[in-house]
Amino acid sequence: MPRLVEVAASFAWTQGTLTPGDWLDWLAALPSELRLRLPDGTRLLATHVAPGQDDGAGVHPAMPDNELTALLEDCGADLVCVGHTTGRSTNGWARGAWSRWVA
């Protein structure tokens, strides 16, 4: 129950902070993915949760190789940057048969 109270307080703070400044509409208008080609030709995908997902568990270091590969193998990017986590990591990792980096 304490976790539920913490989540509810977080949502209340977020709504109370974003609503007065009309930031909710601005956030809602943002794309769920951003694709760029970097100067060296690397195809970058930046996304909130995971390629093709705007909600859910997302990508995380404990994800099994088969799930990670399924998320990334057809994403059309060489470098994938994801968010949607409350933890911090400065490490990238590459695993499995594919050679993409997840940051």
Domain ranges of the chain: 1-29, 31-102
Secondary structure element (H or E) that encloses residue 5, with its range: helix 2-18
Q: What is the pLDDT of residue 2?
A: 79
Q: What is the pLDDT of residue 98?
A: 39
Render each residue's pLDDT in the chain as its tens digit; 103 residues.
778 888 788 888 888 888 888 888 888 888 889 999 999 999 999 988 888 887 877 777 777 878 888 888 888 998 888 876 655 444 444 444 334 444 4
For residues 17 and 51, what is the distance between their CA atoms, to the nearest angstrom?
28
72: helix, strand or coil: helix
DSSP class of residue 6 equals H
In contact, 82 and 58? CB cutoff 8 Å: yes
